Amino acid sequence: MCILFATRAHPDYKLILLSNRDEFFERKTHATCWNHDGFILSPYDMAIEKKGQGYGTWLGINRRGRIAVILNLKIDSPLDSESVLVNGEPRSRGIVPLQFLQQEDNAPFDNWDSWEKFNGQHGNLRRTGPFTLFYGDAKSDEYNVIDYLKHSTNPFEKMEHMVISNDIFHCAVGEHTSRWNKTEYGYVLLDALAKNTTGIAKEELLQKCFELLSNHTFNEGEDVDSVTTSSIYVPPLRITKGADAIGTSLPIGDYYGTRSQIVILVDKDNRVTYEEHVIYESDEDCETYSFMDPKEVIQFQFNMES
């Protein structure tokens, strides 16, 4: 299960964001690059291309500092997880972040800062699969979380940090509750990272961020559900059950796990450092690469535009 960390509590940075993408290794994906005429920095999912929508993404930031990350939402109720289809086919989840990131005007964030407002801009969020979306403006320090169940929460209103996985994040504003061990333990690790890395060099901070994303707590022979809900880094798992068991929509190949890791640092001068570690891109990569020796490391730096 994917996991997302974000904090505004670090003394040296306005925002630190860390993301693990857990997915089938054979799912065709393009590594991070500038796209949409050089306005959006993101990887993109090439497994599905919706007519008229193009490829989607799970994470991106644009040149003006708007940022968005979407995660699948695993919910138990069939009624809750049933997409509401009024007209046409379901929309790709990966299009949702792009709806926000493509905005090149300087419209205020409060045009988007609730489920109702975002839905008004997007068209129909309930036509996607179940999701949780973190999005915001790193320049103005405004952020929000919405989900498929129509929850809307300011994640930093009372808490210093945010950790989201594929369980339900929403709770009373300012309270962080979790059903999964990985998010509870991840919050503790993120708090320690924010408190213990003041004044260190950026490259050292990046290293510590990737160490957090690579934290693993699993035992040989442990069942898939236990590993994916308890370990921040999910090792290569050979999946014999259907994709529904791990909350994904499209099983491709044999192996599933953490296939890429992304860290974004936004400093006090609105300079962005973005680094992706592509660990696996195919089942065969399991034999050659690991989180300690990723297949590809990509870094970008840029100043936000006014």
Of 222-226, 241-245, 253-257, which range is least confident?
241-245
DSSP secondary structure letters along 3-51: EEEEES--TTEEEEEEEEEEEETTS-EEEEEEETTTTEEEEEEEEEEET
Per-residue confidence (pLDDT) for residue 31, from 0 to 100? 97
202-222 pLDDT, tens digit per residue, is 999 999 999 999 999 877 767
Q: How confident is the model at residue 170 (pLDDT cuts 50, 70, 90)?
A: low
CB atoms within 10 A of CB 27: 20
Rounded distance, CA 32 to CA 57, Å?
Answer: 10
pLDDT band at residue 76 under the 50/70/90 scheme: low
pLDDT tens-place string over residues 79-137: 454 544 444 566 788 999 999 999 888 889 999 999 999 999 877 788 888 899 999 99
Reported as a single tens digit per residue, the pLDDT across 1-44 is 799 999 999 999 999 999 999 999 999 999 999 999 999 999 99
What's the CATH code, domain 3-303?
3.60.60.10
How distant is the alpha carbon of residue 164 from its chain centre?
Answer: 8
Which residue carries 């065709």 as its tokens?
A: 28
Which residues are within 8 A (CB) of 9 and not within 5 positions of it... i.e. 6 or more apart? 160, 161, 191, 194
Q: To the nearest 10°, the Cα dihedral for 73, 256, 184, 72?
A: -10
Q: What is the pLDDT of residue 276?
A: 99
Region 143-161: mean pLDDT is 92
Confidence of residue 243 (pLDDT cuts 50, 70, 90): low
Q: Answer whether 178's CB lies under 8 Å from 184's CB.
A: yes
Q: Hunting for tokens 């860290």 — which residue is that?
A: 263
Please write the tens of the pLDDT for every residue from 46-55.
877 655 567 8
DSSP state of 287: G
State the amino acid at position 159 in one-letter form: M
pTM over 0.75: yes
Query: Rounded CA gap, 284 and 300, in Å?
Result: 28
Q: Measured between alpha carbons, how far is 293 from 139 in angstroms, rounded to an integer?
A: 33
**Sign, CA torsion 255/256/257/263:** positive
Average pLDDT, the chain: 88
- Which sign does the torsion angle of CA 30, 34, 38, 41 carry? positive
